[in-house]
């Protein structure tokens, strides 16, 4: 690793970033074929904020078992290991200390990750089905609910106190379903997948930008370069803001794709 010092902070540049893969341009590409994207069902890829760990889930199509897998950058190389069984749709908080697992979570410890813990009764309702919960730097939660007509809810912190989740508006919750939300760390946009009129396939990725008055703008389909006749889902932007990751494929053999995150800026100014 190369270290670059400044008066304000110290940043670490990894010699072999993104698992050694050549970054894509404006055309999406399969991420790490043969390593991450395989003949199995590979989903929900994300990096830790320091970009030294990459997590994703895999369903072994022979055994039917799901696992949470990690590649860690250690001793100048990426090393693979299995964290354990998959719980929820994992995604890490912006501070890198909490891994959200739907209605559950794990905390980072000195030796790895804690046992799985519940977010509590506010999110552990029997009539809610949370698949993915994403958080912002401010601690805002957005999450889906497949037991309630596939909607997305939001919960904010006010004076350090967690507020009751509320439904997002029709800009987001429109169509056959809405699921797998990702909120930008600075809350400037929200990405999710939905099946609605005017889409390209079974499910498409959509984005909504935060307006000056704090409301969410109209849903924008992320376009035919990303969305296909297959199902796209699980949008996520790397902590460095450079790449959009997402899932694409048929029902079983889904792969993880990535593309230059400039697509988000292009849609913002469209």
What are the structure tokens assigned to 230, written together?
């297959």
CA atoms of 174 and 259, how far apart (whole Å)? 26
For the stretch 117-149, pLDDT in tens is 999 999 999 999 999 999 999 999 999 999 998
Q: What is the CATH number of domain 29-268?
A: 2.120.10.30
Strand partners of residue 161: 158
Q: What is the pTM of this model?
A: 0.92
Say if CB 128 and CB 122 are below 8 A apart: no
Confidence band of 251 (pLDDT split at 50, 70, 90)? low
Cβ burial, residue 65 (10 Å; 0-12/13-18/19+): exposed
- Looking at every residue in the chain, the average pLDDT score rounds to 92
55 vs 45: CA distance, rounded Å: 6
Tens digit of each residue's pLDDT (9 = 90 or more) over 163-201: 999 999 999 999 999 999 999 999 999 999 999 999 998
Does residue 244 carry a pLDDT above 90? yes
Largest interatomic CA distance in the chain: 53
């Amino acid at each position: 690793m190369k270290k670059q010092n400044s008066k304000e902070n110290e940043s670490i540049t990894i010699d072999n970033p993104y698992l050694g893969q050549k970054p894509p341009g404006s055309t999406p590409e399969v991420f790490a074929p043969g390593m991450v994207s395989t003949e199995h069902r590979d989903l929900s890829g994300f990096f830790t904020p320091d970009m030294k760990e990459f997590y994703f889930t895999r369903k072994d199509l022979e055994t039917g078992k799901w696992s949470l897998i990690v590649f860690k950058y250690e001793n100048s190389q990426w090393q693979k290991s299995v964290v354990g069984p998959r719980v929820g749709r994992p995604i890490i908080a912006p501070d890198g200390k909490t891994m959200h697992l739907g209605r559950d979570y794990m905390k980072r410890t000195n030796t790895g990750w804690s046992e799985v813990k519940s977010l509590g009764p506010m999110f552990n309702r029997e009539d809610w089905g949370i698949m993915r919960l994403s958080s912002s730097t401010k601690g805002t939660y957005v999450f889906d609910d497949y037991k309630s007509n596939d909607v997305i809810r939001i919960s904010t912190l006010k004076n350090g106190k967690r507020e009751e989740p509320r439904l997002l508006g029709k800009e987001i919750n429109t169509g056959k379903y809405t699921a797998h939300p990702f909120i930008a760390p600075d809350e400037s946009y929200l990405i999710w997948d939905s099946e609605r009129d005017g889409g390209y396939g079974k499910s498409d990725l959509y984005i909504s930008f935060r307006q000056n008055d704090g409301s969410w703008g109209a849903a924008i389909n992320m376009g035919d370069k990303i969305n296909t006749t297959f199902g796209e889902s699980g949008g996520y932007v790397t902590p460095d803001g450079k790449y959009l990751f997402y899932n694409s494929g048929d029902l079983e053999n889904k792969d993880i794709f990535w593309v230059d995150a400039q697509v988000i800026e292009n849609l913002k100014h469209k």
